[in-house]
Amino acid sequence: MKWVKDLKIGLLGLGTVGTGVYEIINHQKGNYFASSKERAIITKVLVNDINKSRSINIPPDLLTNDFNEILNDEDIQVVIAVMGGMEPEYSYMLAAMEKGKHVITANKAVVSEHMDILLKTAQSNNVSFLFEASVGGGVPIINSLNQTLRINEINEIKGILNGTTNFILSKMTYEGWDFDFTLKTAQKLGFAEADPTADVDGFDVSRKLSILSSMAFGAHINDDMIYKRGIRDVTRFDIDMFKNLGYVLKYLAHSKLENDTYYMTVEPILLTTKDLMSNVNEEFNIISINGNIIGELNFYGKGAGKDATANSVVGDLLYIINSEFKKIEIQLDKNLKNGGISGFKGNYYLRADVKDHDEFSLVLDIIDEYSIKKKMEFSGKKLYIITEEMNAETFNELAGKIKSANINNFYARIH
Ligand code: NAP
Ligand code: HSE
């Protein structure tokens, strides 16, 4: 792209992220926009409701609810897509690239599901498709991963990839807040997805893990292929027990590539207090990647929220302005096998709420069938058990039997 004076941008969405983008470019001006002689101008903003009251000052004539006003405006060279959901945003991104416009997005649902087609569409139309903000909010992981992949093979990715659930677990652990109140606070702070079940049930994390692992392992691994288990069932009793045992609960994403097989999981994991990741709190994220030459690299920063995410989006805009996008190449053509969760093992923590003696005996019988109990405690009709080391698939089978007996429980592997 030739950098023209007064680069015109169409912004799709003016919610948490869109507002942040608008502010950096127009109001706070960000360093680049304050000093450059050239100007980047947002000339149209697509929203659902043009009459809605907004938290920022924006000329009303910029707002539209007709995407064609952006698509058919030949002066608009860049489309920033920060609406959320799958459709119509996916179709809008394709249409914009087919019209020769560069696309930047924070939408991990779309990137995770369609990254191969989006990248091919960008290539065939000689435009850029950039998605730094789709993983890790403000953490510059996509560009760093790309850079690392130029020299290294990456065989393992691990991290805390969701700000909302990390905020929930931190507040429950250190401030005694309950789950529902903490989730509502995360929504008010703009961390949560429009439908927060994506955060607490693992879809948001598995989409991010799908994006990173696809790039790292060289094959498009759809988020449907990733095992995920949410954090809804964790209670104050569990959190107190973790403190007594010297562990911290974190919602971790983990993927490994061994030969041609990948193993991936998104689940609550218990870490010792000495583990680097156990000290990552609030809405912060951490992403560890392991390269065959560089070894382990960790990336840390705010994983959600207006300013952090908008910073990543605008960072992508600067790549386009500086014509650096052509350097980014992502290969997705390898043929890999899905090994599910069979590549993970560890001791397990289990809490089961047993109403009577029969349920108590049933839980113990189920555990005895699979594992030796290393530790056991019973208090207030709650049975707490630490098992010996078990394969993740085997423990899930055990937990499935407890669940089918309608016994409330929560479990987590110890890392
Ligand atoms: P949001 O606050 O819900 O804002 C969505 C915006 O898009 C609103 O302005 C809405 O219009 C507009 N919109 C939604 N559907 C539309 C449609 N069909 N047609 C026209 N306009 C539409 O969402 P957000 O938190 O900014 O998130 C946006 C995207 O960034 C999502 O993909 C999310 O996953 C991703 N993301 C968010 C964060 C974060 O911390 N929030 C971080 C990283 C990535 P109205 O204002 O008129 O309702
Ligand atoms: N809802 C997401 C989170 C936003 O909480 O991490 C950032 O992707």
CATH architecture type of domain 141-302: 2-Layer Sandwich (3.30)
Neighbours of 376 (CB within 10 A): 13
Is 48 touching ligand 1 by the criterion CB < 6 Å? yes
- What's the rounded mean pLDDT across residues 358-386? 94
pLDDT band, very low/low/confident/very high, at 6 (cuts 50, 70, 90)? confident
| The pLDDT of residue 326 | 55
Asked if the model's pLDDT at residue 5 lies above 90, the reply is no
| The pLDDT of residue 27 | 82
Asked if the model's pLDDT at residue 4 lies above 80, the reply is no
Asked if the model's pLDDT at residue 79 lies above 80, the reply is yes
59/329 Cα distance (integer angstroms): 38
| The pLDDT of residue 323 | 76
- What's the rounded mean pLDDT across residues 121-126? 94
- What's the rounded mean pLDDT across residues 271-300? 97
| The pLDDT of residue 324 | 66
Alpha-carbon separation of residue 140 from 20, 22, 224, 311, 321 (angstroms): 17, 20, 25, 10, 18
Domain limits, CATH 3.30.360.10, in the chain: 141-302
| The pLDDT of residue 99 | 98
Specify the CATH class of 345-414 in words: alpha beta
| Nearest listed ligand to the Cα of residue 307 | 1
Is 313 touching ligand 1 by the criterion CB < 6 Å? no
What are the tokens at 2?
């030739």
Is 133 touching ligand 1 by the criterion CB < 6 Å? yes
Ligand 1 centre distance from Cα of residue 231 (Å)? 24
Sign of the Cα pseudo-torsion (255, 258, 263, 267, in order)? negative
Q: Where do we find the tokens 């705010």?
A: 302
pLDDT in tens, 218-245: 999 999 999 999 999 999 999 999 999 9
| The pLDDT of residue 328 | 60
Question: pLDDT exceeding 70 applies to what percent of the chain?
Answer: 97
Residue 350 neighbours by CB under 8 Å, 6+ apart: 367, 383, 384, 385, 386, 387, 399, 402, 409, 410, 411
297/289 Cα distance (integer angstroms): 5
pLDDT band, very low/low/confident/very high, at 39 (cuts 50, 70, 90)? confident
Is 16 touching ligand 1 by the criterion CB < 6 Å? yes
Q: How many CA atoms lie within 13 A of 329 on its CB side?
A: 5
- Nearest ligand 1 atom, CA 304: 40
284/297 Cα distance (integer angstroms): 17
Q: Where do we find the tokens 């001791």?
A: 347
Please enumerate, as own/partner, the contacts of 269-274 that have beta carbons within 8 Å and a separation of 24 or more: 269/412, 269/413, 269/414, 269/415, 270/242, 270/245, 270/349, 270/412, 270/413, 270/414, 270/415, 271/247, 271/415, 272/246, 272/247, 272/248, 272/415, 273/246, 273/247, 273/248
11/17 Cα distance (integer angstroms): 10
| The pLDDT of residue 373 | 83
| The pLDDT of residue 89 | 98
Phi, psi of 104 (to 5 degrees): -125, 135
314/316 Cα distance (integer angstroms): 5
DSSP-derived 3-state class of residue 208: helix
- Nearest ligand 1 atom, CA 107: 32
Phi, psi of 84 (to 5 degrees): 100, 160
Question: What is the SS3 string spanning 290-333?
Answer: EECCCEEEEEEEECCCHHHHHHHHHHHHHHHHCCCHHHCCCCCE
pLDDT in tens, 136-192: 999 999 999 999 999 999 999 999 999 999 999 999 999 999 999 999 999 999 999
In this prediction the pTM is 0.96
What are the tokens at 189?
């702070």
Neighbours of 60 (CB within 10 A): 8
Give me the count of residues in the chain: 415
Question: What is the SS3 string spanning 74-87?
Answer: CCEEEEEECCCCCC
pLDDT in tens, 247-274: 999 999 999 999 999 999 999 999 999 9
Please state, rounded to an integer, the average pLDDT across all residues of the chain.
94
Ligand 1 centre distance from Cα of residue 101 (Å)? 20
pLDDT in tens, 320-349: 988 765 556 788 999 999 999 999 999 999
What are the tokens at 40?
């980047």
Q: How many CA atoms lie within 13 A of 388 on its CB side?
A: 7
Q: Kindly report which listed range (32-36, 279-283, 286-290, 363-367) carries the lowest average pLDDT score.
A: 32-36
Q: Which CATH number fits domain 6-137+308-322: 1.10.3720.10, 3.30.70.2860, 3.40.50.720, 3.40.50.10300?
A: 3.40.50.720
pLDDT band, very low/low/confident/very high, at 368 (cuts 50, 70, 90)? very high
Instruction: List, chain by chain if needed, residues with CB within 6 Å of any ligand 2 atom.
Output: 137, 162-164, 191-193, 199, 204, 303-304
Identity at 204, one-letter amino acid code: D
Instruction: Evaluate the omega torsion of the peptide bond into residue 88 and state whether it is cis, within 30 degrees of 0.
Output: yes
Sign of the Cα pseudo-torsion (356, 359, 362, 364, in order)? negative
pLDDT in tens, 62-76: 999 999 999 999 999
Domain limits, CATH 3.30.70.600, in the chain: 345-414
Domain limits, CATH 3.40.50.720, in the chain: 6-137+308-322
| The pLDDT of residue 371 | 84
